C-alpha cells in the first residue's frame, strides 16, 4: 500500500515558519478552556482540568507539574519568523530531545503523513513507509558510513512500521515521531487528514485519546466488533499457523446493547503523595503507550454506581494523604470499586454476590470474576451449548472437566446438563468459593480441586455423579469415579486460562487424555491461537470460533474456540482405559 510522506525542512520557505508561529501562539494561550490547534491529547488534558471547575491559573500550575512530559511530546515547537538558522536554534531550545533518543531512521518530532494499514492486538495503528523515501541522498550516505549494524529490517518490502494510537485502518494521518526502536517507530497523532466513515469524532469520554483504559472510543461499535472478529481470524492463521480453509469462518462478534457504563469493577491507581504537604497527583489509569497516570474523575465504561462512588473515594484518598492517614504513605496504591448486589464495595476482602443465569455466585470483591454482568450470561450460554452438543456420531456428553475454573462459573453453569462435573483452580480461595457456590445453588454433582490445571488428570479424589448423589451414599460405587477413568468419548474439557494461555505441561496431559471435545475460552486470542496449533497437531479440528465483545470501547476480546477429536479408522480406545 502506498504511503504518502511529506518532509518539512527547517530551512524551507516562510509558510512553514508561519504555521509554527501559529502553533506557538496556541501554546502560549494554553490556559484557555477553548479549543485550540494543539494535539487531541493536549486538548483532552485541558478539558479534563477545566471540567473540574479549576481556574486557569490552577490548570497552568497543576497540569504543568502533572503532565510535563506529555506536554513536551504533544505541544508544537515555538519558532520566530526569522531565517532558517534562527528557526533551528529556537526549536532546539524549546524541544528537549531525550538523552537516549535514537535518531535513526527519523529525527525527534519529525512529522510524517501516512496511511493506516492495520491495528495491533493492543489497538495501536500500524502505518508503513519505505525508508529510502524519507532519507535524502546525503543523509543516506551519512547513515551508510556511520551505521554498519547489519540490520536489514528497514529494507523489507512491506516497509518500516510506525505505531500510532487512536486511528482506524485506511485513514490518512499526520503523525510526529517520538521514539525509534530497532524495527519500528512510535509516533503521536497530530491530525486526521482523511477520516474513516466509521470514526466517532466526539468520543463520549474527553480523555479517551490519552487514557489507556479505552483504545476504540473513536470507532463506532460495529467497526470495533468487525475488527475483533478479523483479529481472531488473523491470529489463528498467523500465530496458529492454520490455513484459512482448514477451519470454519470465525463468527461475527457477539455483544449486547450496553456499550457504555457496563463495567462492574475498576481499579484506579495513584502514585506516592508528595513529601511536602501530602498531595496526591493523578488518580486514574495509565496513559496510552506510557506508564504515566492520567487523572480520571469518572469513567465512561464503568457503571453509574461506580462513578458516583468514585467521586467519594477520590476525595477520601486526597484527604487521607493530606492528614497522614494513608496505610502506605510512602507508596502509591491501587483502589478497588466493585459493583455487586451489596452495592459498590471498596474492600478487597469483603464478600459480594451476583447472579448469572439464575445462579448466585459469592466471591471476594478483589478476586477475579468477569466484569460485564450484561454479557456474562450470554457467554455462559454459548459455553454450555458448545459443551452439551452431541458428538458427530450422536454420543451424548456426560462428563465435564473445567480447568482454570475460578469460582466455578462454567462448571456450575453447565452442571444440570452433565452427570459429573469437576473443576480445578490453583487459587485456594477461588476453590473455596466454588465449593460454597455449589452449596449455595444446591448443586451436588460438582467437585472442585485446588491444584494446578495439569494435576486434574492424575487426581486421586473420586467424583460423584448426579445419579450417585440421588441414591444411597453407602451403596456400592458411591465412592464415585476418578477423572482419569472418565469415558473419553463423552467427556468435555472446558479451559479458561489466564492471559498467558495453557501451560505446556497441561497441554501434554490433555493430548494424552484425549477427550472428545475441548471448549477453549480465552481473554487473549494470541495465546489461544498458539495453543490451537498444538491441539490441531494432536488430532483435533476446530468446529467453531466465536468472539465476544465483553469490553466494548477497548481492544480486549474474549474468544471461544471449540475443538473436536478426529477419530481415525480403526481407533478403538475411546474409553481411556487400558
- How far apart CA 228 and CA 212 sit, in angstroms, is 18
> What does the alpha-carbon distance between residue 61 and residue 68 come to, in Å, rounded to a whole number?
10
Distance CA 401, CA 491 (A): 8
Q: Give the residue numbers of the binding site for S-adenosyl-L-methionine.
A: 370, 404, 425, 496
Contact 482, 465 (CB under 8 A): no
Name 26's Cβ contacts closer than 8 Å, sequence gap at least 6. Answer: 36, 37, 38, 76
According to DSSP, residue 43 is labeled: H
Rounded Cα gap, residues 141 and 160, in angstroms: 19
Respond yes or no on whether the N-terminal peptide bond of residue 413 is cis (omega within 30° of 0). no
Residue among 436, 435, 462 at smallest CA distance from 450: 435
Q: Of 534, 40, 42, whose CA–CA distance to 241 is shortest?
A: 534
- Cβ-defined contacts of 484-487 (< 8 Å, 24+): 484/457, 484/458, 484/459, 484/513, 484/576, 485/576, 485/577, 486/399, 486/401, 486/420, 486/515, 486/576, 487/398, 487/399, 487/574, 487/575, 487/576
Where are the strands (E) in 253-349, listed by range?
Answer: 265-266, 269-270, 283-286, 293-295, 333-334, 337-340, 343-345
Is 299 part of the annotated catalytic residue set?
no
In a 10 Å sphere around its CB, with 0-12 CB exposed, 13-18 middle and 19+ buried, how is residue 294 labelled? buried
Cα dihedral sign for 446, 450, 452, 458? negative
* Interatomic CA distance for residues 491 and 483, integer angstroms: 10
The answer to whether 306 and 339 are in contact (CB under 8 A) is yes
d(CA 446, CA 443): 7
HSE of 344, CA atoms in CB hemisphere, 13 A: 20
Choice among 299, 446, 502, 523 that is catalytic:
523
Which residue ranges make up the annotated binding site?
Answer: 370, 404, 425, 496
Active-site annotation, residues: 523
Amino acid at each position: 500500500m502506498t504511503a504518502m510522506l511529506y518532509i518539512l525542512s527547517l530551512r524551507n520557505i516562510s509558510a512553514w515558519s508561519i504555521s509554527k508561529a501559529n502553533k506557538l501562539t496556541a501554546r502560549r494561550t494554553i490556559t484557555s478552556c477553548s479549543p485550540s490547534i494543539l494535539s487531541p491529547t493536549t486538548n483532552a488534558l485541558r478539558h479534563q482540568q477545566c471540567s473540574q471547575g479549576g481556574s486557569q491559573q490552577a490548570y497552568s500550575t497543576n497540569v504543568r507539574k502533572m503532565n510535563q512530559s506529555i506536554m513536551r511530546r504533544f505541544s508544537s515547537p515555538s519558532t520566530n519568523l526569522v531565517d532558517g538558522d534562527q528557526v533551528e536554534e529556537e526549536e532546539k531550545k524549546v524541544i528537549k530531545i531525550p538523552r537516549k533518543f535514537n535518531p535513526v531512521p527519523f529525527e525527534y518530532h519529525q512529522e510524517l503523513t501516512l496511511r493506516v494499514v492495520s491495528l495491533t492486538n493492543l489497538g495501536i495503528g500500524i502505518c508503513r513507509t519505505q525508508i529510502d523515501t524519507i532519507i535524502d541522498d546525503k543523509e543516506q550516505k551519512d547513515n551508510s558510513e556511520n551505521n554498519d549494524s547489519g540490520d536489514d529490517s528497514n529494507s523489507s518490502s512491506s516497509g518500516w512500521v510506525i505505531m500510532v494510537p487512536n486511528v482506524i485502518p485506511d485513514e490518512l494521518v499526520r503523525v510526529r515521531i517520538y521514539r525509534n526502536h530497532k524495527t519500528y517507530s512510535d509516533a503521536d497523532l497530530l491530525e486526521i487528514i482523511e477520516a474513516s466513515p466509521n470514526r466517532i469524532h466526539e468520543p463520549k469520554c474527553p480523555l479517551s485519546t490519552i487514557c489507556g483504559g479505552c483504545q476504540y472510543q473513536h470507532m463506532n461499535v460495529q467497526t470495533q466488533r468487525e475488527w475483533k472478529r478479523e483479529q481472531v481470524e488473523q491470529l489463528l492463521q498467523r500465530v496458529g499457523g492454520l490455513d484459512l480453509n482448514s477451519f470454519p469462518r470465525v463468527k461475527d462478534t457477539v455483544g449486547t446493547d450496553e456499550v457504555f457504563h457496563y463495567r462492574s469493577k475498576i481499579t484506579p491507581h495513584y502514585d506516592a503523595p508528595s513529601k511536602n504537604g501530602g498531595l496526591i497527583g493523578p488518580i486514574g489509569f495509565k496513559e496510552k503507550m506510557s506508564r504515566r497516570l492520567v487523572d480520571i474523575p469518572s469513567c465512561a465504561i464503568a457503571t453509574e454506581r461506580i462513578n458516583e462512588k468514585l467521586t467519594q473515594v477520590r476525595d477520601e484518598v486526597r484527604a487521607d494523604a493530606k492528614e497522614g492517614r494513608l496505610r502506605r504513605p510512602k507508596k502509591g496504591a491501587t483502589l478497588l470499586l466493585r459493583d455487586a448486589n451489596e452495592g459498590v464495595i471498596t474492600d478487597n476482602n469483603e464478600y459480594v454476590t451476583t447472579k448469572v443465569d439464575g445462579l448466585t455466585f459469592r466471591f471476594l470483591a478483589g478476586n477475579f470474576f468477569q466484569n460485564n454482568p450484561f454479557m456474562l450470561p450470554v457467554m455462559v450460554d454459548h459455553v454450555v451449548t458448545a459443551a452439551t452438543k452431541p458428538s458427530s456420531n450422536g454420543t451424548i456428553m456426560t462428563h465435564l472437566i473445567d480447568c482454570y475454573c475460578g469460582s466455578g462459573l462454567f462448571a456450575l453453569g453447565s452442571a444440570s446438563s452433565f452427570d459429573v462435573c469437576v473443576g480445578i483452580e490453583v487459587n485456594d480461595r477461588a476453590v473455596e468459593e466454588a465449593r460454597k457456590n455449589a452449596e449455595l445453588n444446591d448443586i451436588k454433582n460438582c467437585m472442585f480441586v485446588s491444584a494446578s490445571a495439569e494435576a486434574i488428570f492424575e487426581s486421586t479424589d473420586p467424583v460423584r455423579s448426579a445419579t450417585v448423589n440421588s441414591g444411597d451414599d453407602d451403596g456400592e460405587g458411591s465412592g464415585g469415579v476418578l477423572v482419569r477413568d472418565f469415558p473419553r468419548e463423552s467427556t468435555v474439557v472446558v479451559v479458561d486460562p489466564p492471559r498467558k494461555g495453557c501451560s505446556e505441561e497441561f497441554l501434554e496431559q490433555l493430548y494424552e487424555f484425549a477427550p472428545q471435545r475441548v471448549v477453549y475460552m480465552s481473554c487473549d486470542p494470541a495465546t489461544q491461537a498458539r495453543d490451537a496449533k498444538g491441539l490441531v497437531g494432536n488430532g483435533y479440528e476446530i468446529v467453531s470460533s466465536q468472539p465476544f465483545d465483553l469490553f466494548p470501547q477497548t481492544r480486549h476480546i474474549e474468544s471461544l474456540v471449540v475443538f473436536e477429536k478426529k477419530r481415525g479408522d480403526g481407533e478403538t480406545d475411546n474409553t481411556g482405559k487400558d
